[in-house]
Structure 1
């Protein structure tokens, strides 16, 4: 089981199973996120050359496993990053589900290990554990889960998890199971990452803060004889000019009022997630202090939990910021943008050609009868590439 790549980047997109639209915090400009729409986003990501898609988890989302199972047959190369939930799923059941979906998708499954940081939502799911206990469960869960997908028959008697004679009869396609992705900023989370995880994820903090965090994770993993891959979760707002990009950022939160922001921040404050606390500290619920680093904007986090920052700028600026994170050792970039269908195309067309990608658009994998891109001029001539003025 490995998520290793060379210096090329794995660029992911996001499936908005909790909702999508042109504005945050309002029904105006919203759109129904049904199966046909999710198919459009997934097929677009597949055709445009994205490495995979992240499917979110939690009570505000459609179930990630069912969504992945529905969409995998509609795509060819796209990988699906789907959550396992220690404490909510037994490890044996999770291992069987992972092996099955890995086979059905022909090896295109990736696993996002999510411990969960909202005590209220956890109690609704029957999880009455504090922060420390949840990470104890995650450690034990992964002890069993990884051994099962490696083909072992497992007897295990931990503090929280006990199994006898557990096994997975039908193995996954990927050796030792799909690669494990995981994010968490607390000491307990970093211990989990250093013990078990293939790719450690962070939310989009300024580069200096990300560098500081990754150094801790790298040192902890090295002390255990392990080397991880690293990733970052960001939104993106890219336009042909910087002015257009910042105008689009302002427009995204144009319908947010102070009461909506306060309500969201109150929900975030009840969480015991260290990562969420770090995200909230970037803007402190104040819409007047949202540019926290060059081309890094915290406006999304005013009302959205988890990833709350966006790269904002013209294509050259966004690509340069990505290269800054890449210089820290990050090779997995999980992006999203509003609306997700349009922004997937925009980012792929404007930014991805400037990046060293591990994948490429389907149209570049062989001869097609519509290239070069653009509409035929006068029904007789193909358009020529224009030289950029910048």
Structure 2
């Protein structure tokens, strides 16, 4: 019988101040642990399966305060029962031995509810500020690939030996190892180097917000590359959701966010990320085609167009799923109340649409 695999939902953990938009609009979102513990519990009850913590080392772009991602992720996992937390890791500041040990420990303490998002790096100023060398674009992805291969080896082998350009291990055994299956590994990026790396070593590939048509092009490319390696990579797409009772109300909120954008911060962010992408051999990265309005939500979340009524948003999520998305990663303006609203009003509609399609497919069979 044909049944449809349900699309998964994740949310950005606001462990960084400023929320998920570079705007001076009022936001009832806080970066502290008390707010985030309650948010994680709300999200779990609402039907979210994943939460993605952010990694920043320096203030800027409206984010003056940042909690470290791995320890914060553990705190959220300890406050929940089913939610899986994706901890962002940045090769360079992290060595794979330390990362493997941290994640394996949290994995054991939470019965496997920890994953990893390997961030190759886009903010040169951040690396300079903390005394880390800034590698060329493709070198950063080569290092990230070695980082992932080393973590996987440490998690799965005794007497692990690895001789790479960036990391070396000799007869290293770490115990306890993670509970099987190994922690899932996510990564982002739109460059050729990012797609090639994902095809070889990652479980999940995060892409910035996009239309269904734009997403389908990316999915076709990454899955073809993965198939050549005998692998399948799952796809997560970023989006910023504004769900309201009427489309006019939702569009008004979007307009206010953009009208109250912090122009200096948006232009500063644009300068950094576009320079990082332009350094790739093909001259493109995640933000190559992003406008000022797109960058107010700094992962192009508005471009996925989950803005409108619950019914409109549910239909657009199905369109993203049809384009190849396995997961939608969501940001919100007022996280606690909007995550709860999304769980009550949008996710049930998505599940109903999926169930109807499964029943139709079974009837056809």
Q: TM-score, normalised by structure 1?
A: 0.80
Q: Deviations along 1:327-358, whole A, 9 cap, x unmatched?
A: 1221111111011112111211211001239x
Shift of 1:246: 0.5
Bigger Cα Rg: 1
* Whole-angstrom CA distance in 2 between matches of 1:22 and 1:80: 18
Residues 1:51 and 2:46 aligned together: no
Shift of 1:100: 0.4
1:73/1:231 Cα in 2 relative to 1: closer, same or farther (>3 Å)? same
* Whole-angstrom CA distance in 2 between matches of 1:70 and 1:28: 27
* Whole-angstrom CA distance in 2 between matches of 1:92 and 1:138: 13
Q: Which moved more, 1:79-88 or 1:271-280?
A: 271-280
One of 80, 86, 106 as aligned partner of 1:81: 86
Q: Name 1:149's counterpart in structure 2.
A: 155
| Contact 1:22–1:29 (8 Å) recurs in 2 | no
Shift of 1:11: 0.7
Larger proportion of helix: 2
Residues 1:198 and 2:196 aligned together: no
Shift of 1:87: 2.5
Residues 1:328 and 2:331 aligned together: no
Q: Name 1:374's counterpart in structure 2.
A: none
Q: Name 2:235's counterpart in structure 1.
A: 230
Shift of 1:260: 4.8
Q: Secondary structure at the match of 1:330?
A: coil
Q: Deviations along 1:63-104, whole A, 9 cap, x unmatched?
A: 111111222221111110112222322212111111101111
Residues 1:178 and 2:171 aligned together: no
Q: Secondary structure at the match of 2:161?
A: strand
Shift of 1:264: 3.9
1:256/1:135 Cα in 2 relative to 1: closer, same or farther (>3 Å)? closer
Q: Deviations along 1:181-200, whole A, 9 cap, x unmatched?
A: 11111111112111111111
1:71/1:7 Cα in 2 relative to 1: closer, same or farther (>3 Å)? same
| Contact 2:205–2:233 (8 Å) recurs in 1 | yes
Q: Secondary structure at the match of 2:232?
A: coil
1:110/1:326 Cα in 2 relative to 1: closer, same or farther (>3 Å)? same
Q: Name 2:76's counterpart in structure 1.
A: 71
Q: Name 2:34's counterpart in structure 1.
A: 36
Q: Name 1:384's counterpart in structure 2.
A: none
| Contact 2:37–2:79 (8 Å) recurs in 1 | yes
Alignment of 1:96-175 (within 5 A): 96-125=101-130, 126-175=132-181
Aligned residues: 337
**Alpha-carbon RMSD:** 2.4
* Whole-angstrom CA distance in 2 between matches of 1:210 and 1:251: 27
* Whole-angstrom CA distance in 1 between matches of 2:116 and 2:250: 33
* Whole-angstrom CA distance in 1 between matches of 2:153 and 2:94: 16
One of 13, 16, 19 as aligned partner of 2:17: 19
Q: Which moved more, 1:97-106 or 1:147-156?
A: 147-156
| Contact 1:14–1:55 (8 Å) recurs in 2 | yes
Q: Structure 1: which 5+ residue stretches go unaligned?
A: 288-297, 358-390
Q: Name 1:10's counterpart in structure 2.
A: 8
Shift of 1:32: 4.2
Shift of 1:20: 4.5
Q: Which moved more, 1:6-15 or 1:272-281?
A: 272-281
Residues 1:282 and 2:290 aligned together: yes
One of 212, 216, 226 as aligned partner of 1:211: 216
1:21/1:328 Cα in 2 relative to 1: closer, same or farther (>3 Å)? closer
Shift of 1:27: 7.5
1:25/1:140 Cα in 2 relative to 1: closer, same or farther (>3 Å)? same
Q: Structure 2: which 5+ residue stretches go unaligned?
A: 60-65, 353-365
Shift of 1:22: 10
